Amino acid sequence: MVSDRRVVVTGLGLVTCLGLELEENWKKLVEGVSGIGRPTLVDSKAATIQAVGEVNAYDWQRIQETFREDSLAEGERRTLFALWAARSALQDAQALDGDSNRYRHGVILAAGLGINRIEDINRWTDQTGKFDFFRFGREYENVHRESLVRNLSHRPAGLIAKKFGLRGTQTTVTSACAAATQAIGLAYRNIRRGDADLVVSGGADSMINPIGLVFFVLLKAASTTSENPKSLCRPFDRKRSGLVMGEGAGCVVLEELSHALNRGARIYAEVVGYGSSMDAYRVTAPHPQGRGAAQSMGMALKDAQMHYKEIDYINAHGTSTKPNDLVETVAIKTVFKEYAYRIPISSSKSMIGHLLAASGAPEFVYTVLSVQRDEIHPTINLRHPDPKCDLDYVSEVKRSRPVRAALSNSFGFGGQNASIIAKKYNAT
């Protein structure tokens, strides 16, 4: 894409198991504090999955009290997470009230599929096990307010646009674990080509419910061991046993540079490159040579007009699954060649879990902070290095070093891949 319009990050907002505030998240992250614990939203004794990155009850209550009207009307966790993160990002950007030209301000948000509630299936299932569509239609008002039936994927983006008066472009991205990075990439492109001046972007998801948990067990992707939850997510470790699910949201305010400067906005970093690809291989497994992952990273570098040696840090997808960690390592070596061994790499999921469709959003927030603050958070629980995953994963302890530019990766089920680059802002 050829354009003189530059895109900068002016606001950041988070909801994770580490907390609701930006500084709280970052402090815990760089100190290697895990927010993962036993599930409380489901019966943990009966659950196959014994570790989740769950937003704690106190923080959930804060969100509900802040959005009391929406909580009573909506109630669905993913949607309320999105509202909190979007409001936090707009407040951080000092753009919560905005200007009169909200027609140039938009929302591009990733969202998961929503909650399939067992009671909403059982209630209208007859004695033969068939779903009674006619009775369901007559009794639709009895569907639980948190159900997928009432909260489709576009609901969070639509509610953010309505509540904060964002009358410009509105898009919802639902493309598995790459969705949030794709949403941010689309927001970047939207501003760069002149279709918007400011876009709230990111993602929100929560699948910590019986059906959501079982889904990943059936895929054989989730860790089902009963070890200490805080040590269970161990990306790139030889003893990794599967992903640990998390929940929450992350939002960023992306803005055209002159628009940001004209209103005196603080600039965290500049977004300079984005790439997305499809493995076209298998629905539940990445290409063994990391073909699509390498392609998305290469496209991001080309879009940024950067040499791979200008990247000082990679926030990895790092799921703690056997195939994904290995494939991501292979793909990084393909793109960065011998320089791959000199780039610090870390996985945020080791401390917050896998936020599924939302995962790329907090990870991009953390990537931006690494660029702004020249700090790299560690990958915790990496105590038995996998000899096939032999790069520098910043094991256990944070690292302080100049970060001129950083790359954030998200690779999802179905072969979706997305990579985005944040760079130190330079006025010239």
Catalytically active residues, by annotation:
177, 317, 354
255 has which bridge partners? 8, 198
Q: Are 102 and 165 contacting, i.e. CB atoms less than 8 angstroms apart?
A: yes
Q: Are 236 and 389 contacting, i.e. CB atoms less than 8 angstroms apart?
A: yes
Tokens 């996998």 belong to which residue? 386
Q: What are the tokens at 320?
A: 């703690």
Distance CA 83, CA 63 (A): 9
Q: Are 409 and 395 contacting, i.e. CB atoms less than 8 angstroms apart?
A: no
Distance CA 281, CA 269 (A): 35
Distance CA 123, CA 2 (A): 55
- Amino acid type, 241: S
- As a three-state string, the secondary structure of the chain is CCCCCCEEEEEEEEEECCECCHHHHHHHHHCCCCCCECCCCCCCCCCCCCCEECCCHHHHHHHHHHCHHHHHHCCCHHHHHHHHHHHHHHHHCCCCCCCCCHHHEEEEEEECCCECCHHHHHCCECCCCCECHHHHHHCHHHCCCCECCCCCCCHHHHHHHHHHCCCCCEEEECCHHHHHHHHHHHHHHHHHCCCCCEEEEEEEECCCCHHHHHHHHHCCCECCCCCCHHHCCCCCECCCCCECEECEEEEEEEEEHHHHHHCCCCCCEEEEEEEEEECCCCCCCCCCCCHHHHHHHHHHHHHHCCCHHHCCEEECCCCCCHHHHHHHHHHHHHHHHHHHHHCCEECCHHHHCECHHHCHHHHHHHHHHHHHHCEECCECCCCCECCCCCCCCCECCCEECCCCEEEEEEEECCCEEEEEEEECCCCC
Half-sphere exposure of 409 (CA within 13 A, CB side): 32
